[in-house]
């Protein structure tokens, strides 16, 4: 069983159907399961086919491949871990690695499709990478129920923007996300809740620092694509206005005493968690 980077072995639209089908099977069993990452952004942005084609089809996510997805990332509540394991192992017949389970079992499960078509990673309660993105700990008391079949748009933005060493694929995802969805202050399904994002950052200087930097890096890359005629005027201008609006709201949101105290230390002390991809 290989857990390193590879690409899915089925057509993208079939992969979308399989992913949504798994979430639906979980729902039918009373289990809260949601899609993360690039696939979630792709699904949530499907109403804007011109943006999908402009960026995912023309620009792509990986220089070495035309494929868009490497695996299926999901998130669930740890209170339902047993039900998740039963679904994947007993019903779906996915394969798992004993060593990986021993290392990550309480926070994360990794499975392989029965026919090795794709890998599945399931996170519980929160993402712990460069910075934490918290969803809650049990059904009815967390953020996973805010959207379906993906996590909420504001959490998708936080997931991508928490990365300390952001890559081109993540930047492309962010351009799609902001070009396809408006900024607002509510948890409406098609709105990126800037108030929630700003509130998370107002208490965490390190997260704020990396997120703001990543937004500016993404703006510069979008400008480059625009100048190279790979991003049309309409998509570029909408993306830019929404990111600038988010940056303005983040700047204007009052910061906590902890944030201000940490800001004085700045980058002289590590402000992010080192992350290494587990490969076997």
- What's this model's pTM, rounded to 2 decimal places? 0.94
Q: Cis before residue 149, ω within 30 degrees of 0?
A: yes
Tokens representing residue 11 in the block: 């057509």
Q: What is the pLDDT of residues 115-134, one digit of tens each?
A: 999 999 999 999 999 999 99
Q: How confident is the model at residue 235 (pLDDT cuts 50, 70, 90)?
A: very high
Which residue in 122, 127, 125, 150 sits closest to 136, CA to CA? 125
Give the pLDDT mean for 54-59: 89
Beta bridge partners of 193: 184
The answer to whether residue 105 scores a pLDDT higher than 90 is no
Which residues have C-beta within 8 Å of that of residue 126, sequence separation ≥ 6? 132, 133, 134, 135
What's the whole-number average pLDDT of the chain? Answer: 94
Tokens representing residue 252 in the block: 């204007």
Q: What is the pLDDT of residues 137-150, one digit of tens each?
A: 999 999 999 999 99
Tokens representing residue 47 in the block: 């109403």
Q: How confident is the model at residue 4 (pLDDT cuts 50, 70, 90)?
A: very low
Alpha helices, H only, the chain: 12-28, 37-44, 49-51, 81-86, 98-104, 153-161, 168-180, 194-201, 205-227, 233-252, 257-265
Give yes or no for a contact between 206 and 193, defined as CB atoms under 8 angstroms apart.
Answer: no
pLDDT for residue 5:
54
Percent of the chain with pLDDT over 70: 96
Tokens representing residue 130 in the block: 């460069």
> 3-state DSSP call for residue 52?
helix
Give yes or no for a contact between 46 and 181, defined as CB atoms under 8 angstroms apart.
Answer: no
Give me the residue label for tokens 């079949």. 149
Q: What is the pLDDT of residues 147-176, one digit of tens each?
A: 999 999 999 999 999 999 999 999 999 999
Cβ burial, residue 167 (10 Å; 0-12/13-18/19+): exposed
CA gap 68, 74 in Å, rounded: 17
- Listed by start position, the domains of the chain span 12-266
Give me the residue label for tokens 């959207």. 147
Buried b (16+ CB within 10 A) or exposed e, 100-119: beeebeeebbbbbbeeeebb
CA gap 33, 91 in Å, rounded: 15
- For residue 57, the tally of other CB atoms under 10 A from its CB is 11
Give the pLDDT mean for 69-98: 95
pLDDT for residue 191:
98
């Amino acid at each position: 069983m290989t857990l390193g980077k590879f690409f899915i072995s089925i057509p993208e639209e079939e992969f979308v159907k399989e992913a949504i089908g798994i979430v639906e099977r979980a729902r039918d069993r009373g289990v809260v399961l949601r899609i993360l990452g690039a696939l979630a952004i792709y699904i949530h942005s499907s109403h804007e086919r011109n943006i999908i084609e402009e960026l995912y089809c023309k620009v792509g996510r990986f220089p070495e491949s035309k494929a868009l997805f490497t695996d299926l990332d999901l998130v669930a509540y740890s209170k339902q871990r047993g039900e998740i394991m039963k679904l994947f192992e007993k019903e779906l017949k996915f394969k798992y690695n004993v060593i990986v389970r021993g290392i990550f079992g309480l926070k994360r499960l990794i499975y392989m499709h029965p026919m090795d078509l794709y890998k599945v990673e399931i996170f519980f309660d929160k993402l712990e990478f460069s910075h934490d993105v918290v969803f809650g700990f049990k059904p009815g008391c967390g953020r996973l129920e805010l959207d379906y079949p993906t996590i909420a748009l504001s959490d998708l933005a936080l997931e991508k923007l928490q990365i300390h060493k952001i890559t081109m694929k993540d930047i492309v995802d962010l351009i799609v996300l902001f070009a396809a969805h408006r900024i607002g202050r509510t948890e409406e399904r098609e709105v990126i809740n800037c108030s929630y994002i700003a509130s998370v950052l107002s208490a965490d200087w390190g997260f704020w620092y990396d997120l703001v930097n990543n937004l500016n890096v993404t703006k510069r890359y979008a400008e480059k694509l625009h100048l190279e005629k790979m991003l049309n005027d309409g998509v570029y201008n909408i993306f830019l206005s929404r990111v600038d609006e988010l940056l303005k709201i983040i700047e204007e949101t009052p910061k906590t005493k902890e944030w201000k105290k940490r800001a004085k230390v700045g980058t002289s002390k590590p402000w992010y968690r080192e992350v290494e991809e587990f490969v076997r």
